[in-house]
Chains A and B, each alone.
Chain A
Amino acid sequence: MRLNPFGKHLHNQIVVPLVVASLVVAVVATVVAWVLLDQIINGWIDETATATSAGVVVRFDDRIAEMQQAVRLVAENPRFVEAVQSGDPMAISAQLVGINQALDAPDTGYKRVGTGNLMLLDETGRVVASTGGLSIAPDDTPLGSEDSNWVSLTMSHPLMIRLQGKDTLTVFEPVKGPEQRVYALVYSQIMDDSFVAEFGVGTRAGLCLYDADLSPIGIEIPGELGGESLVAELKSPTGSVMEALEAARQDVDAAVTRKFIFEGVEYRVVATQILFESDPTRSAAYLVTVLGTGVAEQTRVATRNLIMLWSVVAVAVLLGLNWWVARRVSDPLTALSDSVARVADGDFSTKVTFEGSNEVSELSENFNRMTDSLRDRSENLTKKVLELATLYEMSRALGSTLDLDVLLDSVLDSAMRIFNVEIGYVTLRDRETGELSVRTRRGGSASHADEIAVRTSMSEWVIREGRPLIFNPPRGGEENRIDTLSGALAALCVPLISNEGTLGAITVGSRDATQRFTSDDVRLLSTIANHVTIAIGNIDLFSSLQEAYLATVRALATAVDAKDTYTRGHSDGVAKFALVIAESMGLSAEQHIALKMAAYLHDIGKIGISEEILLKPGKLTDEEMAQMRHHPLIGANILRPVAFPWPIAPIVRHHHEHYDGSGYPAGLKGEEIPMLARLLTVADAFEAMVSDRPYRRGRSQEDAILELRRCSGSHFDPRVVDAFIRVLEHAAIDERPGREDLGDDEGGDERRAVFVAVADGMVLSFRRLGGPRLAANLERDLNLAFTDKQMPFTIVAGHLSITGGGSVAAPEQLDDMRRAMGVITAAMERTSGASLVEHFYTETVDALPERMRSFAQRMCLLDVV
Chain B
Amino acid sequence: MRRRAYLALFALVILVLIGGCTSSVDSGTDASVAATGEQLRISGSGTCLPLVHILSEEYPGNAEFVYLPGLHSGGGIEGVANGDLEIGAVSRELSEDEAALGLDYVALSDDGLVIAVHPSVTIDGLTTQQVRDIYAGKYSDWAELGGEDAPITILDRNEDESAKIILRQYVLGSDLEITPKAVNLYYESDMIEGLQSTVGAIGYFSLGQGLSQDVPVRYLELDGVAATVDNILNGSYKMVRPLGVVTASTPSADIAAFLEWATSSEVAELMKSRGFAPAK
B-binding residues in A (CB < 8 A): 88-91, 93-98, 100-101, 104, 106-112, 114, 117, 129-133, 135-138, 298, 301-302, 305-306, 309, 312-313, 316, 320, 323-324
Of the listed residues B6, B70, B180, the one surrounded by the most CB atoms of chain A closer than 10 A to its CB is: B180
Instruction: Flag if B194 contacts A97 (CB, 8 Å).
Output: yes
Q: CB < 8 Å: which of A96, A100, A110, A313 contacts B189?
A: A110
Contact A309 B198 (CB under 8 A): no
B128 interface contact, C-beta 8 A: no
Binary flags per residue of B120-132, CB closer than 8 Å to A gives 1, else 0:
1000000000000
Of A96, A110, A136, which contacts B50 at CB under 8 A? Answer: A110
- Segment touching A, from B20-28, B57-65, B90-98, B105-113: B20-28
A136 CA / B182 CA spacing, docked (Å):
20
Q: B25 — nearest CB in chain A belongs to which residue?
A: A302
Smallest CB separation, A79 vs chain B (Å) = 9
Q: Is the CB of A137 within 8 A of B21?
A: no
Given contacts A107-B69, A114-B197, A305-B24, A90 and B140 within 8 Å (CB-CB): yes
* A273 to B25 alpha-carbon distance, docked (Å): 38
Ordered by A's residue number, 23 sampled pairs between the chains whose C-beta atoms are within 8 Å are A90-B181, A93-B153, A93-B201, A95-B183, A97-B155, A97-B185, A108-B67, A109-B46, A109-B189, A110-B53, A110-B209, A112-B193, A131-B194, A132-B198, A133-B197, A135-B199, A136-B199, A301-B24, A305-B24, A313-B14, A320-B7, A323-B6, A324-B3
Name the contact of B201 in the complex, choosing from A97, A108, A110, A305 (C-beta under 8 A). A97
The verdict on B196 contacting chain A, using a C-beta distance below 8 Å, is yes
Residue in B closest to A83 when the chains form the complex, CB atoms: B181
Q: Among B67, B190, B200, point to the contact of A101 (Cβ < 8 A).
A: B190
**Which residues of B sit under 8 angstroms from A306, Cβ to Cβ?**
21, 25
CB atoms of A108 and B120 under 8 A apart: no
CB-based nearest A residue for B50: A110
The answer to whether residues A94 and B69 also contact, given A110-B49, A110-B188, A305-B25 and a CB cut-off of 8 A, is: no
Chain A residues whose C-beta falls within 8 Å of the C-beta of B189 in the assembled complex: 106, 109-112
Q: A144 CB to closest chain B CB, in angstroms?
A: 20
Give per-residue flags for B137-175: 1 if the beta carbon is below 8 A from chain A beta carbons, else 0.
000100000000011111100000000000000000000
- The answer to whether A309 touches B188, judged by C-beta atoms less than 8 angstroms apart, is no
Bound Cα distance A460, B27 (Å): 107
Is the Cβ of B70 less than 8 Å from the Cβ of A109?
A: yes
- Residue of B151, B185, B197 near A98 (CB, 8 A) is B185
The answer to whether A313 touches B17, judged by C-beta atoms less than 8 angstroms apart, is: yes
A57–B185 Cα gap in the complex (Å)?
A: 34
Other than the given A90-B153, A109-B70, A309-B20, 19 more pairs (CB < 8 A) read A90-B152, A97-B155, A100-B197, A101-B185, A104-B193, A109-B188, A110-B187, A110-B189, A111-B189, A112-B189, A130-B198, A131-B197, A135-B197, A298-B28, A302-B21, A305-B25, A309-B17, A316-B14, A320-B6
User: Contacts A101-B185, A110-B188, A305-B24; is A137 near B150 (CB within 8 Å)?
Assistant: yes
Compute how far the CA of A93 lies from the CA of B10 in the bound complex, rounded to whole angstroms.
81
**Whole-angstrom CA separation of A97 from B194 in the bound complex:** 6
Tell me which residues across on chain B come within 8 A of A107, comparing CB atoms: 69
Q: Cβ of B18 and Cβ of A309 under 8 Å apart?
A: yes
What separation, in Å, do the CA atoms of A662 and B21 have in the docked complex? 123
B153 and A94 form a contact (CB under 8 A): yes
Would you give the shortest CB distance from A75 to chain B, in whole angstroms?
A: 17
CB distance B150 to A138 under 8 Å? yes
Whether B46 lies near A110 (C-beta < 8 A) is: yes
* Cα–Cα, bound, A110→B54 (Å): 12
Give chain B residues whose Cβ lies under 8 Å from the Cβ of A316: 10, 13-14
Q: Which residues of A contact B25 (CB under 8 A)?
A: 302, 305-306
Residues in A neighbouring B180, C-beta threshold 8 A: 91
Interface residues of B in 236-275 (CB under 8 A from A): none
- Give chain A residues whose Cβ lies under 8 Å from the Cβ of B50: 110
Contact check, B188 vs A312: say whether CB atoms are below 8 A apart. no
CA distance A137 to B148 in the complex (A): 12
Q: Is the CB of B120 within 8 A of A98?
A: no
Q: Are B154 and A131 in contact (CB under 8 A)?
A: no
A101 touches B21 (CB 8 A): no
Known A-B contacts A90-B140, A109-B69, A316-B10; the reply to A97 vs B183 at CB < 8 A is yes
Nearest-CB residue, chain B, relative to A135 = B197
Pairwise interchain contact A137-B120, C-beta atoms closer than 8 A: yes
Q: Does B184 lie at the interface of the complex (its beta carbon under 8 Å from any beta carbon of A)?
A: yes
Contact B184 A98 (CB under 8 A): yes
- Kindly provide the distance from the CB of B222 to the nearest chain A CB, expressed in whole angstroms: 22
- Known contacts A97-B198, A114-B197, A132-B197; A91 and B181 CB within 8 A of each other: yes
Chain A neighbourhood of B197, CB < 8 A: 100, 114, 117, 131-133, 135
- Size bin of chain B's contact surface: 35 or more
Q: With contacts A130-B199, A305-B21 known, is A138 near B151, CB below 8 A? A: yes
Chain A minimum-CB-distance residue to B137: A90
Provide the residues of chain A in CB contact with B13, threshold 8 Å: 316
Nearest-CB residue, chain A, relative to B26 = A302
Report which of B3, B24, B196 forms a contact with A302, defined as CB distance below 8 A: B24
Q: B6 to chain A: which residues have CB within 8 Å?
A: 320, 323
Task: Look across to chain A and name the residue whose beta carbon is closest to the beta carbon of B119.
Answer: A135
* Chain B: minimal CB distance from A199 (Å): 22
> A114's contact among B20, B46, B67, B193, by CB below 8 Å, is which?
B193
CB distance from A115 to the nearest CB of B (A): 10
Tell me, in angstroms, the Cα distance from A488 to B201 when the chains sit together: 145
CA distance A472 to B180 in the complex (A): 146
Which residues of A sit under 8 angstroms from B46, Cβ to Cβ? 109-110
Q: Which residues of A contact B69 (CB under 8 A)?
A: 107-109
Closest CB of chain B to A729's CB: distance in Å? 85
What is the CA–CA distance of A98 and B158 in the complex, to the nearest angstrom? 12
Chain B residues near A100: list those with CB within 8 A.
194, 197
Q: Please, how many angstroms separate the alpha-carbon atoms of A313 and B209 in the complex?
A: 64
Query: Which residues of B are found within 8 Å of A130, using beta-carbon distances?
Result: 198-199
Which interface residue of A88, A104, A130, A135 has the most chain B CB atoms within 10 A? A135
Least Cβ distance of A865 to chain B in Å? 83
| Chain B residue with the shortest CB-CB distance to A313 | B14
**CB–CB B198/A131 < 8 A:** yes
A312-B70 in contact (CB<8A): no
Interface residues of B in 186-222 (CB under 8 A from A): 186-190, 193-194, 196-201, 209
Which of A88, A133, A309 neighbours the largest number of chain B CB atoms within 10 Å of its CB? A309
**Known interface pairs A302-B24, A309-B21. Does A97 touch B120 (Cβ–Cβ under 8 Å)?**
no
Q: How far is the CA of A420 from the CA of B235 in the complex (A)?
A: 137
- Give chain A residues whose Cβ lies under 8 Å from the Cβ of B3: 324
CA distance A89 to B190 in the complex (A): 20
Q: Do the beta carbons of A93 and B21 come within 8 Å of each other?
A: no
Kindly report which residue of chain B lies nearest to residue A301, judged by CB atoms.
Answer: B24
Residues of A within 8 A of B70 (CB): 108-110
Chain B residue with Cβ nearest A93: B153
| A94/B154 in contact, CB under 8 A | yes
Contact for A320 among B10, B190, B200, B201, CB less than 8 A: B10
Which residues from chain B contact A137 at a C-beta distance below 8 Å? 120, 150, 199
Q: How far is the CA of A71 from the CA of B238 in the complex (A)?
A: 42
With both beta carbons as reference points, the residue of chain B lying nearest to A104 in the complex is identified as B193
Residues of A within 8 A of B155 (CB): 94, 97
Q: How far is the CA of A323 from the CA of B183 in the complex (A)?
A: 89
CB distance from A709 to the nearest CB of B (A): 91
**Residues of the B chain whose Cβ atoms lie less than 8 Å from the Cβ of A96:** 198
Q: Of B17, B21, B151, B197, which is in contact with the most chain A CB atoms at under 10 Å from its CB?
A: B197
User: CB-CB < 8 A to A109: which residues of B?
Assistant: 46, 49, 69-70, 187-189
B75–chain A nearest beta-carbon distance, Å: 12
Contacts of A106 in B (CB 8 A): 189
User: How far, in whole Å, are A129 and B13 apart by their CA atoms in the complex?
Assistant: 77
Verify B183–A94 contact, CB threshold 8 A: yes
Which residues in B have their C-beta under 8 angstroms from that of A88? 140, 181
Residues of chain A lying within 8 A (CB to CB) of residue B198: 93, 96-97, 130-132
Q: How far is the CA of A2 from the CA of B185 in the complex (A)?
A: 102
Chain A residue, CB-CB nearest to B194 = A97
Contact, CB under 8 Å: B183 / A98: yes
Which one of A90, A131, A305 has the highest number of Cβ atoms from chain B below 10 Å of its Cβ?
A90
